Amino acid sequence: MVAQQAQQYQTVIGTLNPVSVLCFLLFVLATLGITYWAAKKTKTASQFYAAGGGITGFQNGLALSGDYMSAASFLGIAGLVSTKGFDGLIYSVGWLVGWPIVMFLISEPLRNLGKYTFSDVVAFRLQQRPIKTAAAIGSLVTVLFYLTAQMVGAGTLIKLMFNLPYESALYIVGGLMIAYVLFGGMLATTWVQIIKAVLLLGGATVLVLLTLSKVDFSYGKLFHLAASKYGNSFLEPGGLISDPLDAFSLGLALMFGTAGLPHILMRFYTVPDAREARKSVFYATGFIGYFYILTVTIGFGAAVLVGKEFITKIDAGGNMAALTLAEFNGGSMFLGFLAAVAFATILAVVAGLTLAGATALSHDLYVGVFRNGQANEKEEMRVAKIATVGLGIAAVLLGILFKGQNVAFMVGLAFAVASSANFPALLLSITWKKLTTAGATLSIYTGMIVAVGLIVLSPTVYVDVMQAKEVKAMNTAAALVTKLDQEIKAPGLAPNQLLAKQTELAKAKTDAEAAKKAVKPAPFKMKNPGVFSMGLAFLVAFLVSLLTREKQAEEMFESEKVRTYLGIGAEGAAKH
């Protein structure tokens, strides 16, 4: 019965849906209103970068999850589960497990030692200029990769959902995110993320309840239907992880990358103290975990109720699984609402990224490096605002530049750089007395260069992106061989036809062979460089630090330690 429903079912995805336009306009109106309110409270640098430290742990937990749950995870993971079954689940798990690490190792010392960015922490007892230069570059590289992936995703998704031209979608996203950050700073960005998180968690919950109502609220029935429709293998691990070292490497990047994402780390300065920082991770982990558990039901629900074929017909990557399921369950009204939520999701994430990038430019690079830590508040704010506009425009341009390209690897790249360049230096600066300026700086550059270099040389970029045309030719040629092969094996072929087909097959096989040879294999065989890039970053930090002793840094480690554990001297909340 369920299958019949799905076959007759049609979609309005891709048409301009009045409900989603209305929902989206309401969201824009509300967030611009908040920005207007926040603008009046955003006068100082502390207010611009950290909302004056006046956000509560609970609010920050919601904002962190709003910052982290991108449209890629909402639409992408649901899509992966709906098309790949159990293998998609591996991603749901992988994206969550970095959060406990953030809590146990990073959140409290980060809050106690820094002011606005993680490079404040690394530079705490080391030389400001080289450290801040390296850390700012590490932050910017991470932010730019992440931002490009989000912008390309935004343009593509909005085109799919509303049939709006790609470029117009980018202008809307770019314009709004600049407005939030430029006028409302961290306070507006935080509330945009909180609203988005509530809408997304609420919308996904309703979607799950509607889905479960179709299967009598029985997971047994849901999975039974999935297994009978797609076979038992749909519920079993498949071919996603074939090389254990590669899987381990991906795991490292996911686990420690979260603890090196600048836009996540800077959120810990929005709360008054380490206690609230720690609390906010607890709430964030809960919300994000809950959300990823929902995506499991959404993915399998979409596969069962809507059907894999239908989902991949709209979008080959399966990105529309959650939205088709919404339409199936709640009609075009609910679809419109969720599409608007997905749009809001993109906006909140890019706003957070833009703010983090602008802070790296103004606070770390301009004040920390060019002005040697000496700049007045007004000047710093002016630079931060220029950086915001500049980054916003850069994001739109990058989005246009990479239009139509497969940019999924860029999120992986952002996590690889975050885990290899930012995380090792940050962790060692908190915990290891003998870390030196040279050790930390070279560690950051090593992690970054090795991570980016190996990904460029990996199959993901070297073959799939750089030789996209050749790969396509190879696949077409191979498909022809399979097709001819089947035709020959089919019964009832006349002898002369058979001969012709056999000649054709022989030629197709030679062509396929040639097409395959035209694709140059990747010099680096793994898809994830984490185990090498992160390993080398730690190794370089250790070796170089041991070779270059820094007496002053070792002496200062004592007062750093006191501040790490007790919070004495930590940046407090702004006095209101």
Partner 1 sequence: MSSESAHKILNDPEFRSLASQKNTVSLILTIIELTLYFGFIGLIAYDKGFLAEKIAEGSAITIGIPIAVGVIVLSWVLTGIYIFWANSSYDEMVKRVKKRVGG
Cα separation, 368 vs 214, in Å, equals 58
Closest distance to partner 1 from the beta carbon of 91 (Å)? 10
569 touches partner 1 by CB under 8 A? yes
Of residues 70 through 89, those in contact with partner 1 by CB under 8 A are 86, 89
2 binds partner 1 (CB under 8 A): no
Contact residue for partner 1 among 37, 58, 171, 223 (CB under 8 A): 223
Distances 461 to 58, 94, 405, 415, 421 between C-alpha atoms, Å: 40, 22, 11, 16, 20
Q: Which C-beta is closer to partner 1: that of 63 or that of 375?
A: 63
Instruction: Find, among 13, 25, 389, the residue nearest to 179 by Cα.
Output: 389
Identify the burial level of 404 via C-beta atoms within 10 angstroms of its C-beta, where 0-12 means exposed, 13-18 middle and 19 or more buried. Answer: exposed
Percent helix / strand / coil, the chain, rounded to 5: 80, 0, 20
- The answer to whether 567 contacts partner 1 (rule: CB under 8 A) is yes
Q: Any contact of residue 125 with partner 1 (CB under 8 A)?
A: no
Return the range that interacts with partner 1 (CB under 8 A); candidates 102-110, 157-165, 202-210, 381-389: 102-110
List b or e across 184-214, with b for residues whose CB sees 16 or more CB atoms inside 10 angstroms.
Answer: bbbbbbbbbbbbbbebbbebbebbbebbbeb
Q: According to CB under 8 A, which one of 75, 255, 302, 395 is a site residue for partner 1?
A: 255
Q: Min. distance of Cβ 269 from partner 1 in angstroms?
A: 19
Question: If binding is defined by CB under 8 A, does position 565 make contact with partner 1?
Answer: yes
Give the pair of three-digit tokens for residue 295. 């995506």
Smallest gap from residue 221 Cβ to partner 1 (A): 9
Phi-psi region of 96 (alpha: psi -120 to 50; beta: other; left: phi over 0): alpha
Q: Which residues contact 127 (CB under 8 A, 6 or more apart)?
A: 437
Q: Which is nearer to partner 1, 41 or 224 (CB)?
A: 224
- Is there binding between residue 3 and partner 1 (CB under 8 A)? no
With binding defined as CB under 8 A, does residue 6 bind partner 1?
no
Q: Please give, one letter per residue, the 3-state secondary structure of 316-368.
A: CCCCCHHHHHHHHHHHHHHHHHHHHHHHHHHHHHHHHHHHHHHHHHHHHHHHH
Would you say 96 or 394 has its CB closer to partner 1? Answer: 96
495 contact partners, CB below 8 Å, separation of at least 6: none
Q: Please tell me whether residue 350 binds partner 1 under the rule CB under 8 A.
A: no
In the region spanning residues 293 to 322, those forming contacts with partner 1, defined by CB under 8 A, are 293, 296
Please identify, among the stretches 44-52, 171-179, 224-232, 378-386, the one whose residues bind partner 1 according to the rule CB under 8 A: 224-232
Choose, by CB under 8 A, the member of 79, 289, 357, 392 that binds partner 1: 289
Residues whose CB is less than 8 angstroms from the CB of residue 361 and which lie 6 or more positions away in sequence, other chains included: 136, 140, 383, 384, 387, 390, 391
Residue range at the interface with partner 1 (CB under 8 A); choices 100-108, 156-164, 398-406, 537-545? 100-108
Size of the site for partner 1 (CB under 8 A): 55
Q: Which is nearer to partner 1, 309 or 558 (CB)?
A: 558
**Cα separation of 427 and 431, whole Å?**
6
Ramachandran category for residue 331: left, alpha or beta (phi over 0 → left; psi -120 to 50 → alpha)? left
| Span from 244-252, 323-331, 333-341, 531-539 in contact with partner 1 (CB under 8 A) | 244-252
CA dist 208 and 84 (Å) reads: 19
Sequence-distant (6+) residues with CB within 8 A of 500 are: none
Among 168, 219, 483, 543, binds partner 1 (CB under 8 A): 219
Kindly state the smallest distance separating residue 281's Cβ from partner 1, in Å.
6
Residue 130 binds to partner 1 (criterion: CB under 8 A): no
Give yes or no for a contact between 295 and 77, defined as CB atoms under 8 angstroms apart.
yes
Q: Which of 7, 216, 244, 491 binds partner 1 (CB under 8 A)?
A: 244
Kindly state whether residue 403 participates in binding partner 1, applying the rule CB under 8 A: no
The secondary structure of 139-204 as a DSSP string is HHHHHHHHHHHHHHHHHHHHHHHH---HHHHHHHHHHHHHHHHHHHHHHHHHHHHHHHHHHHHHHH
The smaller minimum CB distance to partner 1, of residues 297 and 324, is found at 297
Closest distance of CB 422 from partner 1, Å: 18
Integer angstrom CA distances of residue 465 from 298, 404, 419, 456, 471: 30, 11, 23, 9, 9
Interaction between residue 92 and partner 1 (CB under 8 A): yes
Taking CB under 8 A as the rule, does residue 105 contact partner 1?
yes
Q: Per CB under 8 A, which region of 197-205, 208-216, 241-249, 322-330 contacts partner 1?
A: 241-249
* The one among 13, 23, 90, 474 contacting partner 1 by CB under 8 A: 90
Least distance CB 254 / partner 1 (angstroms): 8
- Contact status: 405 vs partner 1 (CB under 8 A): no
Shortest gap between Cβ of 225 and partner 1 (angstroms)?
A: 8
Q: φ, ψ for residue 54 (rounded to 5)?
A: -105, 15
The answer to whether the CB of 527 falls within 8 A of the CB of 245 is no
Binding site for partner 1 (CB under 8 A): 86, 89-90, 92-94, 96-97, 99-101, 103-105, 219-220, 223-224, 226-228, 232, 235-237, 240-241, 244, 247-248, 251, 255, 275, 278-279, 281-282, 285-286, 289, 292-293, 296, 555-556, 558-559, 561-563, 565-569
